[in-house]
Structure 1
């Protein structure tokens, strides 16, 4: 019985596909991680009771490489489209730009152009504003008189 238990332990310790250093195995909690040293593929292997089974781990690197390839192709396509267009102005020009005086008033526009007009307040608007200012002034004077009476009465 002891011999059979020893053989079972030896079979459990034997890792799958460990031929000639083709795979590197690293133990984890529920089995091993298998790295294919020739292709770089990674798999998780575990003993599920019926024997060892390995399942490949999704490779994010492949997705990144595919996206990089797609972007490179799109970049080349856009560069070709840009080169096919008419030549553009280079960064440097031969003549200096004219200097403008920021304090100089702009010249009047021609008659055909739109002018901006600001409407003046009507007489009714002016009367309302004046009555508001008169009322505010009266309140201010009344308040000053009350403060003066309070101060003179306490001294």
Structure 2
């Protein structure tokens, strides 16, 4: 039969030592090499190919006057131009819809009556919710329910 291991409590001086020991053990894990960057560069006969590791996009780059100048590959440029054309057509269509919309369709702010109606609904809903929460708290503590403070029929749709 094995002897039970006595449980020891950390002394006020032991806690800082335990923290230091923990940090020493964690430091090697934190000092590992960082994750590779977003772009990967590869020298080619005509310059440098830059690979975007997140999107897979390849861009051709050349050094000019001490700067690295990058241009999209032809097929990517075509796809970019196509997407740009589609977006421009969508904007034109939306602008036309707004321009040609009937008078009643134009956006407007709510009237004061609509705001008051909405606030009344929200007030009744929140009061009802708070009553439920209060009843739940009382049930939790063993007390009886209280009658709701809101409308007796409980219809929140009334204004």
TM norm structure 1: 0.29
Q: Which has the larger radius of gyration?
A: 1
Higher RCO (C-alpha 8 Å, min separation 6): 2
TM-score normalised to structure 2 length: 0.28
